[in-house]
A = this chain, B = another copy of it.
Amino acid sequence: MNIAIVGIGLIGGSIAIRLKETNFAEKVIGVDKSEINQKKALQMNLVDEIMDLHEAIATSKIIILTTPVDAIMQLTPYILDRITDQIIIDMGSTKINILQQIADHPKRGRYVAAHPMAGTEYSGPEAAVPNLFKGKNMVYVEAFKSDEDAFDLADALTDLLEMKSLFMNAEEHDMHTAYVSHISHLTSFALALTVLEKEKSQGRIFELAGSGFESTVRLAKSSPEMWTPIFKQNRENVLEVLEEHIKQLQKLHDKLEKEDYEGLYKLIKKSNKIKRIIK
């Protein structure tokens, strides 16, 4: 069978690498609106062929969507209208809106909502890397609404990527990702903006940047094409966590401003409980 990947960037390209390593697909077909990405994907041998979307739908058994989530919102119903028994796997980072949009589609069963919890701060075909997914979680959302054969094939791909399967409902998924993924990006963007602003008057400021700074700011290299739509689609949850986060920063600020060092110590000590989660 042929597998089409729509959006050959970090995620799509890394899936393509694994498909080519394993010969899971007869042909890996690339679809991308950017001609530059099409060329790179061929040059890097990520895909066997570049096709337009209609051709790819007609010749592929599985259509994997790895574009930004606003494009997934448009592509999914469009493709569902045009398939017979093919399968669509949506790899996007937000799920509530897309699932609402296609809830009553006659081909709903051919669609599988899956979110691989893996990535880096880089984008484009050149960001594709082997083993990006190994050992990470694949989150299925509303998996019970997919046809059994469609889910089984998606799950075979999850196995191929050496990922673990998790199941959630859409509300849980979108809220949890806001708290453990989307907010991390926002704090990094804000931190980069803060320090870049200061650099204007203090040229040497980055000379002292060490690994701690790098670690908290590296996500600020992430693509606005990918992230603006994620924040749009997950707006309410993201606003909630952002407000919570600002509140926590304000609390630390107020303790310091009032010179309540015992209170500041206690907050830091409390935050140390994160050790339980990340080793």
**A positions within 8 Å CB-CB of B:** 117-121, 136-137, 139, 166, 168, 172-173, 175-177, 179-181, 183-198, 202, 204-224, 227-228, 231-232, 235, 238-239, 241-246, 248-253, 256-257, 259, 261, 264-275, 277-278
Q: Which of B192, B250, B251, B267 contacts A273 (CB 8 A)?
A: B192
Q: Is the CB of A215 within 8 A of B215?
A: yes
Q: Is the CB of B273 within 8 A of A208?
A: no
**Could you say which residues of chain B place their CB within 8 Å of the CB of A244?**
194, 197-198
A221 to B276, CA, bound (A): 10
Q: Which of B136, B212, B257 contacts A239 (CB 8 A)?
A: B257
**Could you say which residues of chain B place their CB within 8 Å of the CB of A232?**
256, 259, 261
Known contacts A180-B195, A228-B265, then 8 further A-B pairs from the complex at CB < 8 Å, ordered by chain A residue:
A176-B207, A183-B195, A187-B191, A187-B216, A193-B271, A209-B277, A216-B219, A245-B249
Q: Is the CB of A183 within 8 A of B191?
A: yes
A193 to B232, CA, bound (A): 25
Which label, helix, strand, loop or mixed, suits the secondary structure of the A interface? helix
- Name A235's closest neighbour in chain B (CB-CB): B256
In the complex with contacts A214-B278, A228-B265, A176-B208 CB distance below 8 A:
yes
Q: Which of B173, B176, B189, B265 contacts A268 (CB 8 A)?
A: B189
The listed residue with most B CB atoms (<10 A of its CB), out of A120, A214, A269, A271, is: A271
**Could you say which residues of chain B place their CB within 8 Å of the CB of A176?**
202, 204-205, 207-208
The listed residue with most B CB atoms (<10 A of its CB), out of A188, A193, A274, is: A274
Closest 7 CB pairs of A and B: A224-B268, A192-B271, A192-B274, A190-B248, A184-B216, A189-B271, A180-B209
Q: Is the CB of A184 within 8 A of B205?
A: no
In the complex with contacts A202-B176, A238-B256, A210-B278 CB distance below 8 A:
no
**Could you say which residues of chain B place their CB within 8 Å of the CB of A265?**
224, 228
In the complex with contacts A191-B187, A242-B249, A273-B217 CB distance below 8 A:
no
Q: Which of B120, B243, B252 contacts A190 (CB 8 A)?
A: B252
Q: Is the CB of A228 within 8 A of B264?
A: yes
A161 to B172, CA, bound (A): 49
**Could you say which residues of chain B place their CB within 8 Å of the CB of A183?**
191, 194-195
Q: Which of B206, B224, B235, B268 contacts A228 (CB 8 A)?
A: B268
- Name A240's closest neighbour in chain B (CB-CB): B198
A176 to B206, CA, bound (A): 8
